[in-house]
Structure 1
Amino acid sequence: MANDITPGGQLMTTIDVENFPGFLEGIWVIFTDSKRVVADSFIMATKVVGRKLNFEGSKKFWNRGISAYIVCDGDAPIFREKAFTVIGGGDSAMEEANFLTKSVEEAYGERVLGGLKVKNVVTREVSDLKANGVVFHYWT
């Protein structure tokens, strides 16, 4: 799980982990400053700072319909079973829009950056995503 100097490598930039091999012992032992904790599983919460867009109303509606934290906020009652738009580019925006299909009525990926590139998760090859316009619609 180490990649270059980033602890956790790509694990820190993904939403779903589908192929983690696990551990032979099947448990986690975590040491804090004051004690040893044994658990069947744990949640690794890393600090993430969402990039905010600067447009009229963006400050007023931040955390009132505009969010940068899809994993936490995407299933919130304010968004559940509603149409939803993800603004971004590349793998991260498409991954977020795909994640939202689990809880929202419709998810849209809106490309606002230059050329949209996506990675094939099997071959790791990067390619252009062909689409009609700049909106990608996911039906749930």
Structure 2
Amino acid sequence: MIVFLCVDKKNGMAFHQRRQSLDRVVRADVLTMAAGKPIWMTPYSARQFAEQEAVPRVSEAPLREAEEGALCFVEFPPLVPSLERIEKLVLYRWDRVYPADQWLDLDLDSAFRLVSSCDFSGHSHEKITKEVYQR
């Protein structure tokens, strides 16, 4: 499966069961990469894609239900239980540190290799770094 997620500079993902931030340019990039294919996500995540041209596959457990090769947008850990099923990871890194009580639980260096990285301007973030990792 191909997983999309957002983290801050310290790999924070969420605070008090809420996403740290969001950006419509990131959503547009996810949709461009999806190219019309369904994207697995939770009901919470689906709300931010409601007005987009997304094809959501809504589930309370998208990492468990997504099949091989499927796209999955994740806002909350844990990812480790699904590690063996993750083929590719597309990570959007905010250029700041937000309050967090949930962090990315994967050791990217030992499980993946970085294949590309680029910076772009978002709508609500001056700089966002997109990192693509593969097994």
TM-score, normalized by length of structure 1?
0.31
Higher strand share: 2
Higher alpha-carbon Rg: 1
Higher helix share: 2
TM-score, normalized by length of structure 2?
0.32
